[in-house]
Structure 1
């Protein structure tokens, strides 16, 4: 077979998305170009790799075999790239690290700075995604590692807790909820909310659980920053959901009330997430060790 890395990456994107259209978008290809590539891949293989259905595609048995080997090849490519980029762990090149909103906003800055300062020739590309999307990317071999919430299942991957990341609900001081200590999201879905900007990974996570609880959040306004959200809540615009550390940071300034969310998905820990430690590039191993990873510890999530 004459498959190149781009073909393997496209095929995995389509398999993980369950859709040629969405897979093409993830691979940054036009639909027509992606469809033509997939036809060429199947023609070269001499066997059907995808079963087309009215609402998407699923891999055939041959497609599952190709997806399995594609993941291995892409992981080996990442390992090779890391080795060539710097024999001294993390000495040069670029490390791509995925993280959810809380990881990028609060956990990583003070942790990452001293590690990066010691490696002047190294670049780090941080990519914000929801925890579920990060796990999907790692499982598909499209990412080496990330920082996710333990509220999401990660079968077959390593999850190593490194920090607490509980979420809290904040309410205006005069709100009827202000005298309560705890609340469930389902009990306040009829209230107006202040949210974060579209595409924010944390807001996507909250929106998903709101829909699962019965209805979408009624968002009056979306803010780009946590502080902007907190200020809107303090002025009575609506309720908000933010990490507990954020709620505590701005509470004195804006005078809102903080309520613990009783929902299991809101009582989270931030975890380093990765697959086979030995398949990681040297720079990534160095970074994960610095962030608290323990190589060889049995923390695989069989969820």
Structure 2
């Protein structure tokens, strides 16, 4: 059984557009040629891949399976082309890693710096995403490696724990919450907050859980990093939710206090994840082994 990459690209285009006509256009093929290729795929596999109706097409169960595999195959082909092109031009190999806000700002920099020193022939491209988005991207083959909250990962993803990432409330030492050691988030949902910009993964995570309490947090300021946020908190502009590691670091030089959040969503474990660690490209495998050794769990 042979698969043509053009057929796989066409099948992805057709299923995403829910139309053979629109899929053919995306794949730069004539409608007749596209229709013949889809029928040829179905004949070769001996199973219907699409349900055809008046409003277009949608994949059958077999079609959904082919779609998952096709995306992974084409992603791997692009990775292969990129790696080989890098060798041909003398450029460095590259690893694409998705990470949530805490991982990107608090836990990855030190580990990645050590890895890059040891592997001068490898670059690491880190992209910030929310943990649930990272899980989806890894599951669908869009990216090779993820660094995300463990609870957001599907059971079929391979993973290993890297560290614990407790979120805490930080407040001015002489503010209204002075003396508190722990708190339910509902108690402070009506307070003034200082937080990360809307586009960050952690800001979305906090907003989602506030919404489940029926609250919409009121922000006096939104900033790009935890140190700046803690400086605002120290000036009693508002309170903030930050990773415990960032809070401890800032508390050493700023008049802020940490308060434990009793809600379960504030207690997270971060994990390195992939569809299959064995099937990763060699540079990604090297990064995985380095992160295993650097893991704090």
TM-score (normalised: structure 1): 0.76
Task: Structure 2 unaligned segments of length 5 or more: list them.
Answer: 40-47
Contact map agreement 1:151 1:264 (CA 8 A) in 2:
no
Deviation at 1:128, TM superposition (A): 0.8
Matches within 5 A, 1:98-247: 98-247=98-247
Q: Distance in 1 between matches of 2:187 and 2:268?
A: 20
Partner of 2:45: none
Contact map agreement 1:79 1:279 (CA 8 A) in 2:
no
**Secondary structure of the structure 2 residue equivalent to 1:187:** helix
**Secondary structure of the structure 2 residue equivalent to 1:156:** coil
**Secondary structure of the structure 2 residue equivalent to 1:105:** helix
Contact map agreement 1:75 1:144 (CA 8 A) in 2:
no
Larger radius of gyration: 2
Change (3 A) 1:290 1:50: farther
**Secondary structure of the structure 1 residue equivalent to 2:238:** coil
Q: Distance in 2 between matches of 1:214 and 1:222?
A: 21
Partner of 1:264: 264
Q: Distance in 2 between matches of 1:34 and 1:178?
A: 61
Deviation at 1:61, TM superposition (A): 2.8
Deviation at 1:84, TM superposition (A): 4.1
Q: Distance in 1 between matches of 2:70 and 2:105?
A: 33
Query: Which residue, 26, 33, 42 being the options, matches 1:37?
Result: 26
**RMSD over aligned Cα, in angstroms?**
3.5
Output one character per residue of 1:175-218: Cα deviation in whole Å (capped at 9) or x when no partner: 33222211122222111211112211111211122112222221
Q: Distance in 2 between matches of 1:50 and 1:195?
A: 47
Task: Structure 1 unaligned segments of length 5 or more: list them.
Answer: 15-19, 21-32, 295-303
Deviates more, 1:181-190 or 1:36-45: 36-45
Output one character per residue of 1:48-73: Cα deviation in whole Å (capped at 9) or x when no partner: 85899x9xx97543541332322441
Deviation at 1:42, TM superposition (A): 7.6
Change (3 A) 1:157 1:250: same
Partner of 1:23: none
Query: Which residue, 3, 9, 22 being the options, matches 2:6?
Result: 3
Contact map agreement 2:98 2:127 (CA 8 A) in 1:
yes
Ranked by relative contact order (alpha carbons within 8 Å, sequence separation 6 or more), the top structure is: 1
Deviation at 1:127, TM superposition (A): 0.7
Output one character per residue of 1:141-183: Cα deviation in whole Å (capped at 9) or x when no partner: 0011111112323220012111121110011223332222111
